[in-house]
Amino acid sequence: MIINIRNFGLFSILVFLFSCAEVKLIQEYDAVSNHKINIIYDKATKFFVKLKRNIGLPENRFEKHIDFYDDLKSDIHILETRTKAIDKSAIVQKQINSLDIQIQTIEQLHKAGFKSKEEIELIQSAFDQTMTAILKLQVALKNKNNQ
Amino acid sequence: MEKNKIEVKPLLQSMLSASKEVLKKEWKHVAPVAELQIKNIIHNLEQIAELKLNKRITEEQAKLHLTIQKESFKTILLSFEGIGIITAEKAINAALNTVKSTINKAIGWRLL
C-alpha cells in the first residue's frame, strides 16, 4: 500500500513537471523591438551615406547633425526600456547597451571632425557588423517562435 | 615584428581562442561565421593603425575607433551566445516532448 502511494506520488510529480514544462532560457521574439532595431539601422545607414558624400564640406560639421544623434539616442532609449520589460532579455539588453556606446563614440569622433572617407567606412563597417549580429539574434528568436 | 605593424595571424588566433572560450559548446556551430567576422574586425584594426601612422587621426581618435571595434566584437559574441542558448532551449524542449509523447502513448490517452 505504501509503495503504491509512493508510486502515485512520484507519478503525480512527473505529470506536474512535464505538463508545465516548456523550458524557457531566453526571451521570446518581440516584433516591436525588431522593428525599432531596423529603424535605427536605416537611419544610421542614410547618415553614413550622407557623410561619405559630403566629406570635406561644411555639411558634415557636427553641429548640422545634432538632430540625428538626438533622434537615434531616443530610439535606443525606447528600445532599452522596452527590452528591460521583457523576461530573460539579458543578452539583447547587453547588445543594445553596446549599440548605445557605439553611437556615443561615433558622436565623439564626429565632434573632432571626419577628415577622410576611409574613417567613415571604418566606422560603418563596425556598425554593419554590430547590426548584423543584433539582427541575426532577432531572426533566431523569431524562428524559435515559429517552430 | 615591424614597428607599429599589426601581426594578423597571432591576433586572429588570440581572438578565436577568446571566442571559443566564451562560446564553448556553441563554438562548432558558429566557427565559420565567427572567423569571418573576426577577420573583418582585424582588417578594421589594421586600418586604424594605418590612419594613425599616417597622422590622419590622432591617438585620441584611434582609441575611440578601437572602442567602436571592441563593442562591435562584443555584440557579435553576444549574438552567438544567444543563438547557442536558443539551440539548447530547443533541444531541452524536444527531449521533454519526447517524454510527454512516450507517457501519453504508454497510457493510451493524452495525459500530458
The A-side interface with B (CB below 8 A) comprises 14-15, 18-19, 21-26, 91-92, 94-95, 98-99, 101-102, 105-106, 108-109, 112, 115-116, 118-119, 122-123, 125-127, 129-130, 132-134, 136-137, 140-141, 144, 147
Nearest-CA distance B84 → chain A (Å): 10
A12 part of a folded domain: no
The amino acid sitting at A125 is S
H or E, element range at B11 = helix B8-23
What does the H/E/C string look like for A73-98? HHHHHHHHHHHHCCCCCHHHHHHHHH
Q: What is each CA distance from A28 to A9, A96, A144, A145, A146, in whole angstroms?
A: 34, 16, 8, 7, 11
Identify the pLDDT of residue B66. 95
Q: Give dist(CA B60, CA B52) in Å, integer.
A: 10
User: Which pTM was predicted?
Assistant: 0.85
Give dist(CA A72, CA B10) in Å, integer. Answer: 37
d(CA B13, CA A142): 33
Going A76 to A82 to A85 to A88, the CA torsion angle's sign is negative
pLDDT, tens only, B78-109: 998 898 899 889 888 888 888 877 877 777 77
Nearest one of A141, A45, A101 to B73, comparing CA atoms: A101
- Among A122, A127, A140, beta carbon nearest to B86: A140
Q: A119-123, A141-145, B17-21 — which is least confidently predicted?
A: B17-21
Cell numbers representing residue B105 in the block: 502513448
Q: Which is higher by pLDDT, A94 or B24?
A: A94
How confident is residue A11, by pLDDT bands cut at 50, 70 and 90?
Answer: low
Chain B, 20 to 59: residues with Cβ < 8 Å from chain A are: 37, 40-41, 44, 47-48, 51, 56-58
Across chain A, what does the average pLDDT equal?
91
**Residue A79 in this model has a pLDDT that exceeds 60:** yes
Is A2 within a domain?
no
pLDDT at B68 over 90: yes
Whether A20 is covered by a domain: the verdict is no
pLDDT attached to residue A52: 97
Mutate to test the interface with B, among A20, A23, A117 (most CBs of B within 10 A): A23
Task: Please give the residue of chain B at the shortest CA–CA distance from A133.
Answer: B76
Q: Residue A95 half-sphere exposure, CB side, CA atoms within 13 Å? A: 28
Share of chain A above pLDDT 90, in %: 82
Closest CB from B44, B48, B71 relative to A101: B71
Angle between helices A66-84 and A31-53 (to 10 degrees): 160
pLDDT tens-digit profile of A85-130? 999 999 999 999 999 999 999 999 999 999 999 999 999 999 999 9
**Could you tell me which residues come within 8 angstroms of residue A62 by beta carbon, excluding any fewer than 6 positions away?**
A107, A110, A111, A113
Cross-chain Cβ contact A127/B68 below 8 Å: yes
Q: Is a pLDDT exceeding 70 seen at residue A141?
A: yes
Mean pLDDT for chain B overall: 83
Complex ipTM above 0.90? no
Q: What are B30-65's pLDDT values in tens digits?
A: 788 888 888 888 899 999 999 999 999 999 999 999
Is A15 contained in some domain? no
Greatest CA separation found in chain B? 78
A7 within some domain: no
pLDDT at residue B1 in the model:
46
Residue A135 belongs to what domain range?
A: 25-146
Distance (Å, rounded) from C-alpha B102 to C-alpha A29? 30
Asked if residue A6 belongs to a domain, the reply is: no
Helices A90-112 & B59-107, crossing angle to 10 degrees?
A: 160
**Does A3 fall in a domain?**
no
Structural domain count of chain A: 1
User: CA–CA separation, A68 vs B108, rounded Å?
Assistant: 63
**pLDDT per residue as tens digits for the range A45-57:** 999 999 999 999 9
Euclidean distance between CA atoms A75 and A125, whole angstroms: 21
Q: Residue B24 has what pLDDT?
A: 74
- Which pLDDT band holds residue A78 (cuts at 50, 70, 90)? very high
Q: What pLDDT shows up at residue A49?
A: 97
pLDDT at A84: 97
- Say if CB A51 and CB A115 are below 8 A apart: no
How far, in Å, CA of B25 to CA of B88, rounded?
10
With a pLDDT cut of 70, the percent of chain A lying above it is 88
**Structural domain includes residue A14:** no
